[in-house]
Structures are given as C-alpha cells and as structure tokens.
Chain A
Amino acid sequence: MEPDIATTGRSPTSVEPTPEDQPRGATSLRKGRTPKGGDVAFRWLSKGSGWLILLLMAAVAAFLVIKAVPAITSDKTNFFTTQVWDPDGTGKFGIAALAFGTLLSSLIALVIGVPVAVGVALYVSHYAPRAIARPLAYVVDLLAAVPSVVFGLWGAVYLSPNLIPLSTFLSKYFGWIWLFKSTNETYGKSILVAAVVLAVMMLPIVAAISREVFVQTPTEHVEGALALGATKWETMRVAVLPYGRSGVVSAVVLGFGRAVGETIAVAMVLSSTYKISWRILDPGGNTIAANIANRWGDASSPIAQGSLIASGLVLFAITLIVNFGARAIVRRGRKASA
C-alpha cells in the first residue's frame, strides 16, 4: 500500500519545468538565481539528510562496539554465561541473568497485556457504539503519553504493595506451578510487578496497531458472515481475526521490543539481584536496561562503564532482531493476503 502512494505522490519527471520552459518576464515567479541551481541544492540537502540517518545508525552501532569490546575482552569470566555484575571488584561480570530477566519480564508482560490489548482493539473497532468508540480509543492512546517515570512511580508506590495479596494467593494455591513458587513467602518488588507495569505500558501500542488492521477488514467479509447467520463472535473469528492476524502478530512483536527496552519504570519496581530465577513472585530480578540505569551512577572506571555499554549493545542486538522479525512477519502477511 505504501509504495503505491509513494509512486503517485512522486511527480512525473515530464512535468518538471526546465529553464527553457520558463515564460520570459513572469514576475510572479520567484526565480531566485536560477531555479535549476536551487533545485539541485535542495535535492542534495534532502538526500544528504537521508544519508545522515544511515550514518547515525551506523555510528550508534560503531560507538557501542568500540566502547564495549575492550570491556568484554578484559572480563575475567565469560560475558555471556555469567550471572554476576562486579566489574570493579573481582572484574567479573556477565549478561546471563540480566538477559534472562529482560526476556522473562517482557514475555510475562506479553501474556498479561496482549489479550487485553487485542480485546480492546476488537471492542473499539467492532463492538463499541460509534459514539463511545472514538473517546475510548483516545483514552487508550493517552495511556501511551504517560511518561515511563510516572508508571515507575505508580508501580513502586501503589502497585507493588497492592499486588502482595495477589502474590500470596498465587503462591498459596498455585505454588505447584514453577513460576508461582515462593522461596520464603516475602513479596514486594518482583518480576510480576515489573511485568504488570510493562503490560500496561505496551498495551496502547499493541491496541492501536491491532485496531488499525481490524478496522480495515473488508465490510463484505463481515456482512457476509453475519448474513450466513453467524453470531457476532463467530463473525470476529471467521472474518476479522484471520484478516488481522499478521498485523496483530507484528504489533505484539513491536510491543515486545518496547518492553525489552523499557528502563526507568522497570528500574523503579525491581530490587536488583543477579540470579537466574523463574520465581516471578520473589523479590529481585533485573533487566539489562534497568541495570544500566541503576549502576551508571557508580560506574566511574572505564571497565565499569564499558561493561554497561556492552550490556547496552546486547540490548540493541535483541531489539534489532525483534524488529527485523516483526517486519519479516508483516512482509509475509502481506504476500499471503495479496
């Protein structure tokens, strides 16, 4: 759909004026020096901006690598499998626990957030009466505007104590599930709290993108299903959901990317530990981004700074993979529907 608009939006070369075409003495035209010179300069300016974007992205990768490599090579232990973070003392630091915490919290956030987000999208696009659909969509969009530090504050001060009863309940009655096992029945700043905050934060993105694809479902499909006697839900299942599937999947992946990179909100609701643990109700847990925010203050040596930049590089790599994945899914979905 994009390329079509782009090609029609682009002017055919044949209508571009050449100097000979200019009427003589046309005073209303601001010629400047010669239109040709201005055109060339403007064209290069805009093309240069395009190149600058590429340069910027290359520089991001390059500078992270430059600062990260010396730190990783000076690591006293394997950077990718170690679960401690002590670059200044023992010189040992590793990404394993951080990467695990990042992925675990984001995945749980997906499990909590995606059904709600898709439900919201479906409700707003096909269920809600027109009069309230627009305000509802708007309210959900507003959620995206709330700064992450505010979510962090809310998560740390309000949500974390209020989730303690739920944590108690889960570990008491569902403790046989390995995720809900509690080590010593203390609850508070846990991966669960971080996941709930992340779920709330990714909700507007996933909901907005899903809503957009659901709205585009051809009316014929919906009306066809209804005319065959399908109930509203059956219509959703046979017409709307299959049509929007690839869009929803890419929305989920993008939301995941957002959750993986979220820093401050997570740093505020986690009490950092450096241990791989599946027990999401236990206090502790850590993510790559939160660790950078927490440790930057006392990272004064080049190795300490380099180690944090190295972890940032890993985060960058994860988000790149996630984003490429999302785009590949979109492309395949387009091909399939075409």
Chain B
Amino acid sequence: MTAAVYDEVPLSPPNLSRRKLPWWAFLITAAAAVLVTWVLFELTPVYGRIIFVLVTGALYLIAQTALSVSVEGWRHAKNRLMTSLLILAMILAVLPLLGVLGYTIAKGLARFDGVFFTHSMRAVAESDPNGGAYHAIIGTLEQVGIATVIAVPFGIMVAIYLVEYSRGRLGRVVSFFVDVMTGLPSIVAGLFILALWVLALRMGNSGFAGSLALMILMLPTVVRSCEEMLKLVPVSLREASYALGVAKWITIVRIVLPTALPGIITGVMLAISRVMGETAPVLLTVFGNNVINNNPFDGPQASLPLFVYNEVLQSYDTAINRAWTGALTLIIIVLLLNLLARAIARFARVRG
C-alpha cells in the first residue's frame, strides 16, 4: 500500500543503530555514586544507613540520566530513568518483607524452645526468663477454629445464593454489602461484638466472643472467593446434571461444590491466615489471660497476637524476647497456611 513511499524515502541507517551505553557504564556510575556519598558522609555531619542508601540512590539516578542524555538522547534517558525507578520500587517493596522476616527470625529464635510451647504465663513474672505461650496458642486455635466453623458454611451459602439463585435487586444489595464488609476495620468488628455480646447481652469476655468478631472479618473473604470459584464451574456441568433429572440443590451440593472445592479451600485458608493475626478485635472481646483456659465459652482466654501485644507493653527484655518468639510462631503458622493454600490452588484448579 505504501510501497511507493518506501521507494522514495530510504531508511536512514543511524536510526537502526542508535548510540547505546554499554552495561559496564552503569556499573561504574553506581560505584561512583557510592564513592561520592561516602566522601560526603565523611565531610559532613550527616549519618545513618537509611540516608546513605537514599543519597546514593538519588546520586546514581542523576548521574545515570545525565550520562544517558548526553549519549543516547532524552527519550532513552527517560526510559532508563523510569526502569531504574521501577526496579527501585521493587527493591523498596521487598526490603521491608525481608527486614520483618529476618529480624523476627533473628530475635525470635532466642526463646524458640520447649518451655515456650509447653508453658503458660501462670505465676511467671514479666522479668522471668521462662514462661511461654501455650495458653495463647490454644486460645488462638480455638477462637479461629470456631470462627471458621461458623463463617465457612455461612459464607458458602451466601456465595451459592449470589451465583445460583439471586436475580435482581436483593442479590445486588447483598453483593454490595459484602464489599462494604470487606472494608470493615477489624476494630469496628470487635467493637460491634463488644457492644452486642459483652455489653448488651452481658455474656462477658470469652473466646467465643472473639470467634464471633473474627467470623465477621472472615465472612467477606470467604464469600468472595467462593463466589469466584462457583462462577468458574462450567454451565455445561450443571446442564448435564439437570438433563439427567437431578434436582437443582443436589446438583449444587454434589456437582458444583465438589468441582469448586479446591478453590474454596484455598479461599478459606487465606481467610483463616488473615484472621489469625488479628489483634484488635481479640483485644476487645477476648480480653487476654495469663493462665490456660481451655473453654472458649467461659471467661477470658489468651491469644497469640494478643500475647505478643501484651508482652511488648512490658519494659523487660525477657518479655520482649517472648514477644518476638510469639511473633515468629505466628508468622510461621500464617505463612504455612498461606503456602499450603496457594499450593492447593496451584495443583487443583477448577477443571473446565
């Protein structure tokens, strides 16, 4: 179509081989940036690791851009600058994760011993080096367990309603309020259970009250992930079942749910891992306890995140050490749940 134009305007060779900086030029620039920053730090009273990194980064970006502008031109210099900035963003995002994980592991290993996992804080003073989180681990498992037992069937039924039954307004309203629930701050959920269960109904602080608050926080996650999974189940499967004369509810229970099961399990496990580390609602509803209370329906219980929070408030190193080990335990449980959930999601996709 444009062949005639090509004949008259020959391609100019310089466009095809624009001047490009070799990779080692950037290595030298980086080294120079570090060197200059070091000299600056020696000459001026400025100090601190974070500032060193920031200044070095800024110097490198300026030098790189200047170099690139002079050799490659503005557009490519801008391109390089943005690429560097994006990589910088990536590093900035990964650093805190590594920082948190690394620091928690380093600090937490000090008390990661048998005593910690087999003893409670009963008759342990804050300045004592022993004491453990057995009571807190029991409490967390019970509270999250009860919350899961309530939230999962409830959430699955809501998802089934949204996907299989709802037509018109109610479905849209429910869907909207599930979204609103997703944004509900955890402390507000705690305050609600507190106002309803503890203050209005006078049921007192208990593990179960905490379970109710955690249930509210789990619910939207469970509903959303179930909904997504149910939508992925092919219509042909349902129609095949109807064609065989199977009732709709049996189709849902025996065909649709089993097909979506791996995805639902993943969603539920992610919801559990999110709720496991919640401190604020537990603080208001379960209240915390230093001794073992195996009964979640009677009296204050402990919980792992709450244990960490309470130990940090003490000014003794022994207490802080317990807090770090508690945090490490919590991270291990939550990350294991997460990894497991993703592994399930990966190896058992909904088959189309």
A interface residues with partner B (beta carbon < 8 Å): 5-6, 8-11, 15-17, 21-23, 26, 29-32, 35-36, 38-39, 41-43, 45-54, 56-57, 59-60, 63-64, 66-67, 115-120, 122-124, 127-128, 136, 138-140, 142-143, 145-154, 156-158, 162-166, 168-169, 200, 203, 207, 231-234, 236, 254, 257-258, 260-264, 268, 289, 292-293, 296, 305, 308-309, 312, 315-316, 319-320, 322-323, 327
Nearest residue (CB) in A for B160 is: A46
Task: Mark contacts of B322-338 with chain A using CB atoms, 8 A cut-off: 1 yes-contact digit, 0 otherwise.
Answer: 01100100110011001
Q: Which of A49, A145, A327 is in CB contact (< 8 Å) with B274?
A: A145
Q: Which of B188, B216, B330 is in CB contact (< 8 Å) with A312?
A: B188
Assess the A319–B188 pair: CB atoms within 8 A.
yes
In addition to A145-B338, A147-B305, A149-B327, 17 A-B residue pairs with Cβ atoms within 8 Å of each other are: A26-B245, A39-B247, A42-B248, A42-B252, A42-B253, A45-B157, A46-B164, A53-B174, A57-B181, A63-B196, A64-B195, A146-B101, A147-B277, A231-B75, A261-B186, A315-B185, A327-B176
Q: Which of A22, A52, A63, A263 is in CB contact (< 8 Å) with B186?
A: A263
Assess the B279–A59 pair: CB atoms within 8 A.
no
Assess the B154–A9 pair: CB atoms within 8 A.
no
Question: If A59-B196, A312-B191, A319-B183 touch, does A119 touch B277 (CB 8 Å cutoff)?
Answer: no
B351 interface contact, C-beta 8 A: no
Shortest C-beta distance, A203 to chain B (Å), equals 6
Assess the B86–A127 pair: CB atoms within 8 A.
yes
Complex Cα–Cα for A268 and B280 (A): 12
Q: Which of B87, B173, B273, B312 is in CB contact (< 8 Å) with A123?
A: B87
A140 neighbours in B (Cβ, 8 Å): 93-94, 97
Question: If A11-B239, A15-B242, A296-B284 touch, does A154 touch B89 (CB 8 Å cutoff)?
Answer: no
Q: Which of A46, A123, A153 is in CB contact (< 8 Å) with B157?
A: A46
Nearest residue (CB) in A for B54 is: A166
Assess the B180–A63 pair: CB atoms within 8 A.
no
Measured as residues with beta carbon below 8 angstroms from the partner, the interface class of chain B is 35 or more
Task: Mark contacts of B237-266 with chain A using CB atoms, 8 A cut-off: 1 yes-contact digit, 0 otherwise.
Answer: 011001111111110110000000000000
CB neighbors of A among B185-213 (8 A): 185-189, 191-192, 194-196, 199-200
Assess the A39–B174 pair: CB atoms within 8 A.
no
B interface residues with partner A (beta carbon < 8 Å): 46-51, 54, 75-76, 78-79, 82-83, 85-90, 92-94, 96-97, 99-101, 103-104, 107, 154, 157-158, 160-167, 170-171, 173-174, 176-189, 191-192, 194-196, 199-200, 216, 219, 223, 230-231, 233, 235, 238-239, 242-250, 252-253, 273-274, 276-280, 283-284, 305, 308-309, 312, 320, 323-324, 327, 330-331, 334-335, 338, 342
Shortest C-beta distance, B99 to chain A (Å), equals 7
Complex Cα–Cα for A145 and B284 (A): 22
Complex Cα–Cα for A38 and B242 (A): 15
Assess the A316–B161 pair: CB atoms within 8 A.
no
Q: Which of A50, A151, A289 is in CB contact (< 8 Å) with B187?
A: A289
Assess the A153–B308 pair: CB atoms within 8 A.
yes
A-B contact pairs, 27 of them (CB 8 A): A11-B164, A17-B242, A17-B247, A29-B246, A38-B250, A51-B174, A56-B181, A66-B195, A67-B200, A120-B89, A120-B90, A123-B86, A128-B90, A142-B338, A145-B273, A147-B279, A148-B278, A149-B308, A151-B100, A152-B312, A153-B104, A165-B47, A233-B82, A262-B185, A263-B186, A292-B280, A316-B185
Assess the B230–A207 pair: CB atoms within 8 A.
no
Question: If A50-B166, A52-B154, A231-B78 touch, does A117 touch B93 (CB 8 Å cutoff)?
Answer: yes
Q: Which of B82, B191, B233, B279 is in CB contact (< 8 Å) with A309?
A: B191
Complex Cα–Cα for A116 and B89 (A): 5
Q: Which of A52, A53, A231 is in CB contact (< 8 Å) with B79?
A: A231
Q: Among B173, B184, B192, find the residue whose CB has the most chain A CB atoms closer than 10 A.
A: B192
Q: Which of A124, A154, A231 is in CB contact (< 8 Å) with B103?
A: A154
A143 neighbours in B (Cβ, 8 Å): 93, 96-97
A56 neighbours in B (Cβ, 8 Å): 181, 216, 219
Assess the B187–A292 pair: CB atoms within 8 A.
yes
Complex Cα–Cα for A30 and B88 (A): 61
Q: Which of B187, B243, B274, B327 is in CB contact (< 8 Å) with A150?
A: B327
Assess the B158–A49 pair: CB atoms within 8 A.
yes
Complex Cα–Cα for A140 and B97 (A): 8
Q: Which of A67, A153, A169 is in CB contact (< 8 Å) with B324?
A: A153
Complex Cα–Cα for A207 and B158 (A): 28
B243 neighbours in A (Cβ, 8 Å): 15
B189 neighbours in A (Cβ, 8 Å): 60
Nearest residue (CB) in A for B194 is: A309
Q: Among B75, B191, B283, B335, find the residue whose CB has the most chain A CB atoms closer than 10 A.
A: B191
A21 neighbours in B (Cβ, 8 Å): 245
Shortest C-beta distance, A229 to chain B (Å), equals 9
